[in-house]
Amino acid sequence: MIDKSNAPNYRPLYDQIKVLLTQSLIGGEWRPGEMIPSEIDLAGRFKVSQGTVRKAIDSLAGENILIRRQGKGTFVATHNEEGIKLRFLRLTAANGQKEVLQNELISCNKSKADAHFAKILELKASAALIEVKRLLTFSGRPLIYDHVVIPAAPFKGLNSTRIEENQGSLYSMYETEYGIRMIRAEERLTAVAANAEVAEVLGLKLGAPLLSIERVSYTYGDKPMEWRLGLCLTDDHHYMSELE
Amino acid sequence: MIDKSNAPNYRPLYDQIKVLLTQSLIGGEWRPGEMIPSEIDLAGRFKVSQGTVRKAIDSLAGENILIRRQGKGTFVATHNEEGIKLRFLRLTAANGQKEVLQNELISCNKSKADAHFAKILELKASAALIEVKRLLTFSGRPLIYDHVVIPAAPFKGLNSTRIEENQGSLYSMYETEYGIRMIRAEERLTAVAANAEVAEVLGLKLGAPLLSIERVSYTYGDKPMEWRLGLCLTDDHHYMSELE
DNA sequence: GAGTGGTCTAGACCACCAA
DNA sequence: TGGTGGTCTAGACCACTCA
């Protein structure tokens, strides 16, 4: 069960515990928002000391996969809770003002993966996809034209009605309705000129500079589950990036 | 010296140790690249257990301020070492290819802080500044027009000759020549249209979309020490951002 | 082999929260 | 008041590096 030997493929105990915890998360033993067993309970289950469990949990908490609350317990993180909503949205107003965000659904269609999307989402060619297009409005001004692509299989029954029931918060919906939680994303940013379609939707001149944000989101086990392209007007907004 | 009481302003011991370590770094007791005393030595010095020192160092290592090397010791991080050079540069080629980066110095002038820069760099109005402009070339192609502004006082004697002696690596020069290490930076990204000056330098049409990267870099104690604006051509490069 | 960081344990005690 | 996470300690042993 647990390997304490010093074999060549040596891994620290807390790392093995981390894997076991992750497997329980993948298996759905603890769903987003739920509390996991206490450190002492887990130590008993895995036959290690509390300190070792602690280190495994520390690591998962550092990756925002678990959240510790002193006096209460340790919980599976979620995109639902107050203050952590829109955790992946790095766009903020130039004046730092708080904003009201609105979603306007443009379309929600089925399609088939071409070679490009098959590779990005690690699917078979011609696998079924769902494509969502929408317009994000900040304090009444249309600012982002969003194009989302996800594999159809894990998101059975997802349609425009369902999106609107969830008020357009896709990550919350993924968790609540499908138990799929995105834990990490990679974004590639470039500057592009607005084409006719986008210029129309955002009310811009053809060729106006837009910030293009291409995002791939990953769920447990680093499995890519969503591709997204946002074209953003950055006249009075900017993308914040912290370097350490 | 060390406060173990449970006063209302309670701070964990390891946090206090962290502050003491940071002060030694600010004071120059250990310079960039040097090894700091072993955990056991530090535990003796601060009269705490090794585990507590360990936790303080873990935290500083997590912020890339210190670097641990098993079997060797713990070192003050630097922008100089192989593999960590250009740690703040998030721009990569679309095809993932490794690139040769070159600097071409355009100008290096003295100026005075207006209200805007005085605020950003936390200086008195009309404080002396140094402004550097340069062109960064990737594998022979001009890609970034860079404008750097730093306070003149801490960087006495910095001029174009000195920059060229350091092969244009500003962060290395800050450390080597002035003992100033940047530990953190904030970047604000927007898409802009090329103006006449930049279009000329980068060989673009007027109005071509460029990625604008505005960066403020901070040294120990979160003191802002450098402002920088990079205008980047993103035809075959992109800015990588990891979200967790 | 000596010295460094890295892991693991067991136990004591503190801070926080809810009932 | 009891349960949770958070801190701190002391000590044993492991893994890595270098002379």
Residues A142 and A212 in one domain: yes
Helix and strand counts by DSSP (H, E) for chain B: 7, 11
Closest chain A residue by Cα to residue B187 = A241
Residues B239, A184: C-beta atoms closer than 8 Å: no
Cα–Cα distance, A194 to A238 (Å, whole number): 17
Contacts of B243 (CB under 8 A, 6+ apart): A87, A88, A90, A184, A185, A186, A187, A215
When CB atoms are compared, the residue of B184, B189, B244 closest to A238 is B189
pLDDT digits (tens, 9 = 90+) for B83-114: 667 889 999 998 888 788 888 999 999 999 99
pLDDT digits (tens, 9 = 90+) for B126-177: 999 999 999 999 888 899 999 999 999 999 999 999 999 988 789 999 998 9
pTM, two decimal places: 0.91
Segments forming the whole domain that contains residue A52: 13-76
Residues A54 and A123 in one domain: no
Whether residue B3 lies inside any domain: the answer is: no
Whether residue A82 lies inside any domain: the answer is: no
Residue A38 is classified by DSSP as P
When CB atoms are compared, the residue of B64, B183, B186 closest to A240 is B186
Closest chain A residue by Cα to residue B92 = A188
Cα–Cα distance, A239 to A93 (Å, whole number): 9
Whether residue A187 lies inside any domain: the answer is: yes
Tell me which of A48, A76, A104 is where a domain ends. A76
Instruction: Give the pLDDT score at B140.
Output: 86
Residues B234 and B133 in one domain: yes
Q: What band does B10 get if pLDDT is binned at 50, 70 and 90?
A: confident
Residues B72 and B106 in one domain: no
Residues B132 and B33 in one domain: no
Helix and strand counts by DSSP (H, E) for chain A: 7, 11
B115-136 mean pLDDT? 96
Residues A191, B192: C-beta atoms closer than 8 Å: yes
Residues A243, B187: C-beta atoms closer than 8 Å: yes
Whether residue A2 lies inside any domain: the answer is: no
More confident residue, A95 or B239: B239
Residues A208 and A95 in one domain: yes
Q: What are phi and psi of A224, to 5 degrees?
A: -70, 135
Residues of A from 29 to 88 whose C-beta is within 7 A of strand C: which are they? 48-52, 55, 69-72
Cα–Cα distance, A234 to A215 (Å, whole number): 18
Residues B98 and B209 in one domain: yes
Q: What is the mean pLDDT of chain B?
A: 92
Which residues lie near nucleic chain D, judged by CB under 7 A?
A: A 6, 10, 36, 38-41, 51, 54, 68-74; B 4, 12-15, 48-52, 55, 69-72
Tell me which of B27, B52, B76 is where a domain ends. B76
Whether residue A128 lies inside any domain: the answer is: yes
Q: Which tokens hold the place of B170?
A: 């500003």
Q: Give me the CA A39–C1' C3 separation in Å, rounded.
A: 34
Whether residue A41 lies inside any domain: the answer is: yes
CB A79 within 8 A of CB A171: yes
Residues B234, A191: C-beta atoms closer than 8 Å: yes
Chain C bases closer than 7 angstroms to a protein Cβ: 3-11, 14-18
Chain D bases closer than 7 angstroms to a protein Cβ: 2-11, 14-18
B69: nearest nucleotide, CA–C1' criterion: C5
- Cα dist from B244 to A62, A180, A211, whole Å: 9, 16, 21
Cα–Cα distance, A212 to A230 (Å, whole number): 6
pLDDT at B181 over 70: yes
The residue among A166, A164, A191, A188 whose CA lies nearest residue A177 is A166
Please state the domain count of chain A: 2
pLDDT at B188 over 90: yes
Residue A46 sits in a domain whose CATH number is 1.10.10.10
Cα–Cα distance, B186 to B144 (Å, whole number): 18
Residues B53 and B151 in one domain: no
Residue B162 sits in a domain whose CATH number is 3.40.1410.10
Question: Can you give the three-state secondary structure of B135-155, one letter per residue?
Answer: EEEECCEEEEEEEEEEECHHH
Residues A131 and A185 in one domain: yes
Q: Give me the CA A22–C1' C17 separation in Å, rounded.
A: 27
Instruction: Give the pLDDT score at A86.
Output: 80
Instruction: Give the pLDDT score at B3.
Output: 46
pLDDT digits (tens, 9 = 90+) for B15-39: 999 999 999 999 989 999 999 999 9
Instruction: Give the pLDDT score at A5.
Output: 43
Closest chain B residue by Cα to residue A219 = B244
Residues B102 and B56 in one domain: no
Counting as low any pLDDT under 70, the low residues of chain A are: 1-9, 82-84
Q: Which tokens hold the place of B88?
A: 């703040």
Whether residue A175 lies inside any domain: the answer is: yes
pLDDT digits (tens, 9 = 90+) for A67-103: 999 999 999 999 887 666 788 999 999 888 878 888 8
Residues B63, A244: C-beta atoms closer than 8 Å: yes
Residues A31 and A148 in one domain: no
Whether residue A86 lies inside any domain: the answer is: no
Residues A106 and A33 in one domain: no
Q: What are phi and psi of B14, to 5 degrees?
A: -65, -25
A36: nearest nucleotide, CA–C1' criterion: D4
